[in-house]
Amino acid sequence: MKIIPLILMGCGGVGRQLLHHIVSCRPLHAKQGVHLRVIGVGDSRSLVVASDVLTMELNDKILLETCRIKLGGGSLSDLSNFGERKLFLNTEATKKVIDIATLLGKSTGLACVDCSASSDTVNVLKQVVDLGCCIVLANKKPLTSTIEDFNKLITHPRRIRHESTVGAGLPVIASLTRILSSGDPVHHIIGSLSGTLGYIMSEVEKGKPLSQVVKVAKSLGYTEPDPRDDLSGMDVARKALILARLLGQQINLSDIKVESLFPKEMGPDVMPINDFLDGGVLALDSDIQERVTNASSRGNVLRYACVIESSSSRCEVGLQEFPKDSPLGRLKGSDNVLVVYSRCYNEQPLVIQGAGAGNDTTAAGVLADILDLQDLF
């Protein structure tokens, strides 16, 4: 039986869903000869670990109770009645992750899984990489920190998996890595990488006002609690930065041209969210509808997309026009699509399309990444 010890950082929607997947897939993994030994689970304030990280694990009952407690807004300290485990708080939690990585990194091996949405994990991840550990990321922020941090994290390419940072469960990173490793230079990437903005733009295309679509998307749970987190385009910019860096561009987030769908005077630091939803977003309707109409008159549709070009080091995100019969033009709903042009995929580019958002899909991608590491253990 192949055993993969792991620590999970982040108990939000993706992290909780990952724990559910791990528990529900036990019979499948047993048939495959793999066991995921969860020895620690942490959030932004604390870390729960098995009493003996060399031989013990947090059993499935504890993992499911962790999900229940965190879903209800509780604390990991509420796990006091479940099994032999230890609790570490704040800076002690960070130190304990490093201690475990030091102990297991060069012996049994360890996978550090980051499903948080924090930029604070980058320093821990850089240290565990040096200690011989593997890292699996759904969190985009470590890979979109400084170029020095990025280069450090990918020092050992076989020990990092980050498929879910760009396309949730879609094989975006794996496909690009295979193409580049074969010596086939990728010269152009176009993608719609936000399920939220994909849904919004396809609904606006039907003639619905942007303000109405945004409110519906929020009610359906498609947007962040503040929809401006999606409308700003920064999430797409982070995904584009990861892709551009994979192609060899030594750039930072500040180097990317990002088109926000709202002006600065409607930003979160200026306008309260209720004022934006009740009035601010209404002021955006006419401009967006005019752009949609103009695009349609040319036989095109409007999509929020990233464009990356190797030859010119171009990397930008924003509203773009695409022919209605193109991969991005045909896109409907919240699907993601990535179109890759290379020497081999030139006249007929590689098109990767499917569900690119959601806790379930993202967590499934993370789980696949963890299992993909098994030959290193």
As annotated, the active-site residues are 239
Structure tokens at 336: 């993601």
Closest-CA residue to 133 (of 162, 163, 108): 108
> Is 279 within any annotated ligand binding site?
no
Separation between Cα atoms, residue 79 and residue 48, nearest integer Å? 9
End-to-end C-alpha distance for the chain, whole angstroms: 11
Structure tokens at 50: 């098995």
Separation between Cα atoms, residue 317 and residue 302, nearest integer Å? 13
CA–centroid distance for 262 within its chain: 23
φ, ψ for residue 279 (rounded to 5)? -140, -45
Separation between Cα atoms, residue 373 and residue 133, nearest integer Å? 11
DSSP one-letter code for 343: S
Separation between Cα atoms, residue 241 and residue 144, nearest integer Å? 7
List Cα–Cα distances, 180 to 100, 183, 372, in angstroms.
34, 5, 19
Contact 33, 1 (CB under 8 A): yes
Structure tokens at 339: 């179109």
CA–centroid distance for 335 within its chain: 15
> Is 329 within any annotated ligand binding site?
no
Handedness of CA 247, 251, 255, 259 (dihedral sign): positive
> Is 317 within any annotated ligand binding site?
no
Structure tokens at 54: 């060399």
> Is 105 within any annotated ligand binding site?
no
List residues bridging with 86 in a β-sheet. 49
Closest-CA residue to 304 (of 170, 214, 174, 169): 214
Closest-CA residue to 349 (of 365, 335, 337, 357): 337
> Is 10 within any annotated ligand binding site?
yes
Q: Which amino acid is at 119?
A: S
Structure tokens at 101: 């990585």
> Is 356 within any annotated ligand binding site?
no
> Is 321 within any annotated ligand binding site?
no
Burial of 377 from C-beta contacts in 10 A (0-12 / 13-18 / 19+): middle
Binding residues, by number, are: 10-15, 140, 224
Binding residues for NADPH, by number, are: 140
